[in-house]
């Protein structure tokens, strides 16, 4: 049960950030009025700062997705023992909506920082950038939460190992279903 519990705890912790990071992709054909790049099309040294794929729509709805998932986690934590068992966050002390806000925004912030680096290195938007495509959102989410929530060190370090594995597995499923262009 040790490894299984560890993986469940890691997945449960990552859920608000992971779903926040998925929301911009799921909503890319909706709310086009908000599809404005966060860098407003500005350039730095002749290259886009973040690029056209990082939009206010993505940040808004991604962060909102994180808040919704974090709130749901808090409700489940307070009503079902199984969720208290797999939670490394004490939702009696730290509200779920705030965890979701920090992890959701943090995940998107981490993704934006990675995009900034990709633009500087002339890596095209949407092109693989291993292992940072797998870790950007995780690092951002964890960095935004750590000042407020004491997370177990094994969970934080375990995420660096297992998050890329989960990412590759989910991409493989998406690739096999015709939803993704590559596994990496």
**Highest-scoring range by mean pLDDT, 37-41, 95-99, 131-135, 162-166:** 95-99
Cβ count near 161 (within 10 Å): 9
Q: What is the pLDDT of residues 103-135, one digit of tens each?
A: 999 999 999 999 999 999 988 887 888 889 889
What pTM, to 2 d.p., does this model score?
0.90
In 3D, which of 35, 49, 67 has the Cα closest to residue 113?
49
Helix axes 132-145, 2-26, angle to 10 degrees: 100
Q: What is the pLDDT of residues 141-159, one digit of tens each?
A: 999 999 999 999 999 999 9
Cα dihedral across residues 23, 76, 162, 170: positive or negative: negative
């Amino acid at each position: 049960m040790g490894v299984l519990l560890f993986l469940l705890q890691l997945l449960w912790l990552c859920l608000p950030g992971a779903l926040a990071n998925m929301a911009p992709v799921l909503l890319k054909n909706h709310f086009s009025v908000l599809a404005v790049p966060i860098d407003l099309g500005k350039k730095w040294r002749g290259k886009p700062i973040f690029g056209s794929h990082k939009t206010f729509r993505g940040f808004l709805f991604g962060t909102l997705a994180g808040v919704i998932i974090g709130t749901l986690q808090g409700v489940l934590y307070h009503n079902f023992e199984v969720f208290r068992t797999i939670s490394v966050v004490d939702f009696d002390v730290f509200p779920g909506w705030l965890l979701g806000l920090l992890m959701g925004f943090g995940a998107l912030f981490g993704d934006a920082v990675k995009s900034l680096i990709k633009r500087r290195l002339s890596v095209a938007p949407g092109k693989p950038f291993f292992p940072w495509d797998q870790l950007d959102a995780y690092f951002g989410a964890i960095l935004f939460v750590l000042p407020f929530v004491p997370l177990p060190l094994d969970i934080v370090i375990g995420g660096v190992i297992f998050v890329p594995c989960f990412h590759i597995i989910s991409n493989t499923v998406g690739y096999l279903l015709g939803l993704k262009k590559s596994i990496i």
